[in-house]
Amino acid sequence: MRKNEVHSPSNGYKIIAVDDEEGIVDSLSIFLKRSGYEFTGVTDPLEAIERVRNEHFDLMILDFIMEPIHGDKVVEEIRKFNKELYILLLTGHKDLAPPLETIRKLDIQGYCEKSDKFDQLLLLIESGIKSIAQMNEIKRINLELSNTYEKLEKAYLDSIQTLRYTVEAKDPYTRGHSDRVSAYSVLIGEKLGLSEDDLKTLRVGGLFHDIGKIGIPDSILLKESKLTDDEYSEIKSHPAIGAHILCNAEVFKDIIPIVKHHHERYDGRGYPCQLKGEDIPYFARIATIADAFDAMTSKRTYRNSLPIDIVRAEIEKNLGTQFDPKIGKAFLDILNNDYEKIEKIKEDYPS
């Protein structure tokens, strides 16, 4: 520390200054440390880029005319890996400043002319620090909200998962069925080129598509003989019951269409709403074929699982009637060319 130099206590904000004139860097060091900032001075712009890459700084003061590269090139490189650094550009003269279009494009927050006095620069720095403080507070709040939402989402998922296990305990057929429908739905979604968010919706929707069976009497779920018309009508209420169970939780809003409409038919003869064609939610149309495939390839109390050739033929026959033709063809392509993926799912989630 230089003799008689007074430093204010650090306010925690880190500033890096880049100027190929060592005298400017030294002057800024004294001035900013007295103002309470943690200061780093660099005379080589290429070194400055690496310092920013490897260390945290809140604000950069950057000279424009430098060797071997000018300040705008420094910013251009930094913006490739750091979009948040607050940058103030210093110019020897305002006529030497880069065009306003360049300043905006590179997201430079401000600039001022060099001067023996740093009053204007200090005002710009203080304004920048206030913006940084607000941005940090917004980040903190968003992180807290995100953590809270994740905890809430997990609590809801755990609660509904418990209900799902209760359904599986009631209905032996459901055991493993929902996991397979979930996995088949994701497989189809991948074939159709859906996004990761969409695949997540399909995965969760498949897991909970039969949650409404919690409201179906055991005497119907466990009946081994043919159901009466009244009993079948009772079974057909499970999609609406499932949608009602999930309707008050915001976290499940995207999967409710799957739960409610996975028994609709493309020709409009399904339930509960007799939706037709593309009026049926897209993800529900995917879950429909996954659900039907698992039903046909699973052993039931009244029949064995169907051979895969018969299942293929049944799907082909029902394209455009029970199933969306495009989705059905995508699934047939999986059955014909990637059947090992189907077998892997069956191994992972046995009945």
| CA–CA gap between residue 143 and residue 128 (Å, rounded) | 22
For residue 49, the tally of other CB atoms under 10 A from its CB is 22
Phi, psi (deg, nearest 5) at residue 179: -65, -40
Q: Does residue 187 contact residue 345 with C-beta atoms inside 8 Å?
A: yes
Would you call 94 a catalytic residue per the annotation? no
Q: Which amino acid is at 286?
A: I
| CA–CA gap between residue 61 and residue 21 (Å, rounded) | 13
Q: Which amino acid is at 346?
A: K
Q: Does residue 179 contact residue 344 with C-beta atoms inside 8 Å?
A: no
Q: Does residue 27 contact residue 121 with C-beta atoms inside 8 Å?
A: no
| CA–CA gap between residue 182 and residue 206 (Å, rounded) | 4
Q: Does residue 332 contact residue 325 with C-beta atoms inside 8 Å?
A: no
**Among 3, 33, 73, 213, which one carries the catalytic annotation?**
213
CA 254 to chain CA mean position, Å = 14
| CA–CA gap between residue 39 and residue 120 (Å, rounded) | 18
* The dihedral sign for the CA sequence 135, 138, 144, 149: negative
Q: Please identify every residue annotated as catalytic.
A: 213
